[in-house]
């Protein structure tokens, strides 16, 4: 006798299967990993979905898959959290790439004093940093860029801005691509409250400023719990 599917009783699963019936086959069988995510994402874009929609639909398909594997095949928790962490990293990487490409067209690339492109790092805190995301987790992020400076300007050499302003725009763009709620939901809720000075602090910080903050140099320094948060 075949055991009935527990996942089929989930209202979430029922809703996803109705809404995305045509898209569900785009996610290859098994536990979703980076390769499956990329293939599904590209297939959705080939169907005309923009990046924000493709990322959100991919999330819907992934969570429906994990629900089925968890309820009906007793998928180990470690594989569920790994799949969700892979999804978060995948979404952030794509969102960051697009945000910088669009801003480069307007302001040019951010440059260091040595004439190299300045880089930004997205630091995953909490469950993301520990690779323990579950299907309802938000993602706690801190943004740090390597060096202050100025962008190169657009093709006409205009619209130069400071690296800090450039990366601040990057943070806002990534937040929108990943965290905004649309007709397809969100990819992940994004929490930036763990950055220096919390919600009253700057969205993005240079590496030097962040190091000074953590190492208690100057009057503006991290609290003990902020040091502890970095060890997770």
What HEC string does the chain produce?
A: CCCCCCHHHCHHHHHHHHHCCCCHHHCCCCCCCHHHHHHHHHHHHHCCCCHHHHHHHHHHHHHHHHHHHHHHHCCCHHHHHHHHHHHHHHHHHHHHHHHHHHHHHHHCCEECCCCCECCEEEEEEHHHHCCCCCCCCCEEEEEEECCCCEECCCCCCCCCCEHHHHHHHHHHHHHHHHHCCECCECCCCEECCCCCCHHHCCCEEEHHHHHHHHCCCCCCCCCHHHHHHCCC
pLDDT at 1: 47
pLDDT at 216: 76
pLDDT at 227: 72
pLDDT at 83: 98
Higher pLDDT among residues 159 and 2, named by residue: 159
Q: What is the mean pLDDT of the chain?
A: 93
pLDDT at 218: 63
Higher pLDDT among residues 220 and 126, named by residue: 126
pLDDT at 161: 97
What tens digit of pLDDT does each residue of 64-104 get? 999 999 999 999 999 999 999 999 999 999 999 999 999 99
Higher pLDDT among residues 214 and 76, named by residue: 76
**Does domain 110-232 bear CATH number 3.90.550.10?**
no
Higher pLDDT among residues 6 and 108, named by residue: 108
In the predicted model, what is the mean pLDDT of residues 40-44? 98
Whole-model pTM: value is 0.92
pLDDT at 112: 95
pLDDT band at 145 (very low <50, low <70, confident <90, very high): very high
Q: What residue ranges do the domains of the chain occupy?
A: 110-232
């Amino acid at each position: 006798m075949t055991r009935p599917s527990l996942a089929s009783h989930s209202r979430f699963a029922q809703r996803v299967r109705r809404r995305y019936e045509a898209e569900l086959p785009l996610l290859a069988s098994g536990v979703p990993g980076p390769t499956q995510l990329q293939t599904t994402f590209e297939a959705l874009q080939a169907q005309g979905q923009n990046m924000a929609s493709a990322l959100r639909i991919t999330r819907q398909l992934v969570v429906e898959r994990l629900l089925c594997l968890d309820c009906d095949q007793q998928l180990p928790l470690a594989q569920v959290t790994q799949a969700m962490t892979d999804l978060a990293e995948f979404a952030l990487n794509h969102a960051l790439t697009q945000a910088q490409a669009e801003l480069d067209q307007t302001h040019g690339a951010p440059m260091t004093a040595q004439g190299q492109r300045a880089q930004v790092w997205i630091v995953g805190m909490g469950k993301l940093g520990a690779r323990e995301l579950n299907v309802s987790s938000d993602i706690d992020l801190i943004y740090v860029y390597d060096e202050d400076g100025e962008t190169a300007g657009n093709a006409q050499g205009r619209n130069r801005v400071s690296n800090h302003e450039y990366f601040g725009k990057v943070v806002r763009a990534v937040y929108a691509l990943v965290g905004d709620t649309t007709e397809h939901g969100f990819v992940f809720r994004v929490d930036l409250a763990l950055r220096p000075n919390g919600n009253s602090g700057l969205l993005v910080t240079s590496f030097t400023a962040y190091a000074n903050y953590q190492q208690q140099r100057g009057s503006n320094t991290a609290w003990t719990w902020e040091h502890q948060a970095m060890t997770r």
